[in-house]
Amino acid sequence: MYAPTERTQLKRLPKRASYDQAQIHAILDEGFLCHVGFVLDGQPYVIPTGYARSGEQLYIHGSAASRMLRNLAQGIDVCVTVTLLDGLVLARSAFHHSMNYRSVVVLGKAQLVTDPQEKWAALRCFTNHVVAGRWEQVRQPADQEMKATTVLVLPLNEVSAKIRTGPPLDDEEDYSLPVWAGVVPVKPQFGEPIPDGRLIPDTSAPRITRGDPEPM
């Protein structure tokens, strides 16, 4: 269980808040994309990027030339958000339309990963978060590629989840309206892999599954 802080404690609709470690880990492990929020010279930015979790640490990475990563490495405050959409909630009134979702917000300061072994393990974690076992199948980074890549780590210290589930909540007098109401589930689905045009013949496509994060 994560201890809520003044910054992570949900004030509005607190029943939707969760600080359960297992639940928060599950949301992070299911997602692929996070949004990184920070302020630079008075201008707020929110940048989408990939991520991976290992234990109580969240890793983000990118080009060593990335302005976002260079500035985050200086220790400025950062907010990382992951959101999973589970359903469209259609109510009898426009006002009560909503969405079912699971989201996680992580606050803190990111640190540059300088230890070569941790950086290597973090990149393995990224790759296998996308496709389990992929790191072991592909050519791994060359020295120059490692130098061209920046990896940051954000500890899961200040973290909370917000979750909405269930049907629409209409006003009592609206339940008699002849309007369809309920939930339309939203389920991400992987399509059939499309081979690259220069693929060596008879090379098998990977089997895409979601599971536990790769250990560091």
Band of pLDDT at residue 96, cut at 50, 70 and 90 = very high
Per DSSP, the chain holds a count of helices (H) and strands (E) of 4, 11
pTM comes to 0.92
Higher pLDDT, residue 11 or 152? 152
pLDDT beyond 80 at 131 = yes
Q: Which residues contact residue 206 at a Cβ distance below 8 angstroms, ignoring those fewer than 6 apart?
A: 131, 133, 134, 137, 193
Mean pLDDT of 143-151: 97
Lowest mean pLDDT among 95-99, 107-111, 189-193: 189-193
Mean pLDDT of 2-18: 85
pLDDT digit string, tens, across residues 53-64: 999 999 999 999
Look at the domain 14-185 and name its fold.
Pnp Oxidase; Chain A (2.30.110)
Average pLDDT over residues 129-154: 95
72 pLDDT more than 90: yes
> What Cα–Cα distance (Å) separates residue 30 from each residue in 2, 36, 68, 115?
19, 17, 24, 27
* Residue 171 tokens, joined: 């006003």
